[in-house]
Amino acid sequence: MKFGHWLSLIAIIISLYILWEIRQLLLLIFVAIVFSTALNTLARLLQNRFRLNRHLAIFITISLTVLFIVLFIWLVVPPFIAEFQKLIELIPEVFLRVRTGLRNIENQLPLWLPQPPSLADFIKQLQPLVLQSVTNFVDFFSNSFRTVLQILFVSVLTLMLLANPLEYRKGALRLIPAFYRRRADRILSDCEIALGNWLAGVSINCLFIGSLSGIGLWILQVDLVLVHALMAGLLNFIPNIGPTMSVVFPLMVSLLDAPWKALAVLIWYGIIQQIESYWLTPIVMAKQVSLLPAITLIAQLFFASTFGLLGLVLALPLTVVVQVWLQQLYFKDIMDNWGESESSEAIASSRQIS
């Protein structure tokens, strides 16, 4: 290799190391891109529907978004926090009730039956782990200073991207070689469409899951309905893992009241997930970039292990973007055209010989 090649290789390695060190910042930038894409879609919809200019459409979009956030914080957040604190206080009581019930079952077993492993001891060992997981989950959001800074950064960056998206897009395209910029611009448009379709589809799904969960728990008279419904809706943003996590808390609370309620909650959540998986998702996500379930799960594990909790939340939109680039850049532009030039030259030479 020449000196220039070695220098380029060293520059690439240094660049990759810097990108790895700022990976959390890159995730926050990606969050801002997702939000700005959604708001930009709404602004363009207002432009086309009501024939508004760009600045007025952006102003109306931002005003509606701020109004929704203020109403959500004012009406929903305080009761959610109060109920969530009650839920955390009930967790030790749930484990105590389960451990006592398992001990009663073991004591009632006939002596001639082989004694099973002590499930009560297993629950006792599992309790600190679950409590620690819940504590870490709460601590992640209770670090107010860091969270406020991240929200402020994402909000400001979203507004900047929304104000003049074309200039930022042109700046990003300048990082790509000139011969491929036009093609990359079309791929970015495909990514924008895919992200918009994903965000719209998953929002409808979350609203559906949260509403049905709240209605079912209200009919069953399970305590802390609001917090369970909101968690079911929000956790649905995380496919595969989120729906399983959302049933844990209402199952524990209902178990304190009556065992049959716990079974009813489990059945109800199973019915909701079946409706969502086999009816709602195929209809709502008809325009979404399709992802195989195994690929979705692998992507969640990869992004969660690499970037932590934020990577788990953003696993699906990141996978959607990566899939679009792989389909367009790797499969269509590279693999599908592999060997075409050689085959065309061979055909041309054969024609000349004949």
pLDDT of 219: 92
Please report whether residue 70 resides in a domain. Answer: yes
Which distant-in-sequence residues (6+ apart) come within 8 Å of 36 by Cβ? 157, 158, 161, 162, 165
How many angstroms separate the Cα of 143 from the Cα of each of 114, 137, 139, 308? 50, 11, 6, 16
Q: What is the torsion angle, in degrees rounded to the nearest 10, for the CA atoms of residue 22, residue 27, residue 29 and residue 34?
A: 170
Please report whether residue 155 resides in a domain. Answer: yes
pLDDT of 60: 92
Which distant-in-sequence residues (6+ apart) come within 8 Å of 195 by Cβ? 34, 37, 38, 317, 320, 321
Q: By residue range, what is the domain housing residue 162?
A: 22-106+120-334
pLDDT of 353: 54
**pLDDT, tens digit, 9 for 90 and up, residues 241-254:** 777 788 888 887 88
Please report whether residue 246 resides in a domain. Answer: yes
Residues 28, 154: contact at Cβ < 8 Å?
A: yes
Please report whether residue 351 resides in a domain. Answer: no
The tokens for 138 are: 């709460």
The sign of the dihedral angle between the CA atoms of 95, 99, 100, 101 is: positive
pLDDT of 216: 92
Q: Which stretches of the chain drop beneath a pLDDT of 70?
A: 1, 98, 101-145, 240, 281-291, 339-354
CA dist 192 and 319 (Å) reads 13
Q: How many of the other CB atoms lie within 10 Å of CB of 114?
A: 5
Residue 220: alpha-carbon gap to chain centroid: 29
Q: How many of the other CB atoms lie within 10 Å of CB of 309?
A: 13
Please report whether residue 350 resides in a domain. Answer: no
Please report whether residue 348 resides in a domain. Answer: no
pLDDT of 185: 92
Please report whether residue 296 resides in a domain. Answer: yes
pLDDT of 267: 92
Residues 206, 233: contact at Cβ < 8 Å?
A: yes
pLDDT of 186: 92
Our count of domains for the chain comes to 1
pLDDT of 344: 54
pLDDT of 111: 55
CA dist 191 and 325 (Å) reads 8
pLDDT of 255: 77
Q: 0.95 cut: is pTM over it?
A: no
Q: How many of the other CB atoms lie within 10 Å of CB of 26?
A: 12
Please report whether residue 297 resides in a domain. Answer: yes
pLDDT of 231: 85
Backbone Cα Rg of the chain: 26
**pLDDT, tens digit, 9 for 90 and up, residues 294-313:** 777 788 888 888 888 788 88
Identify the helix (H) or strand (E) that includes residue 27.
Answer: helix 23-50
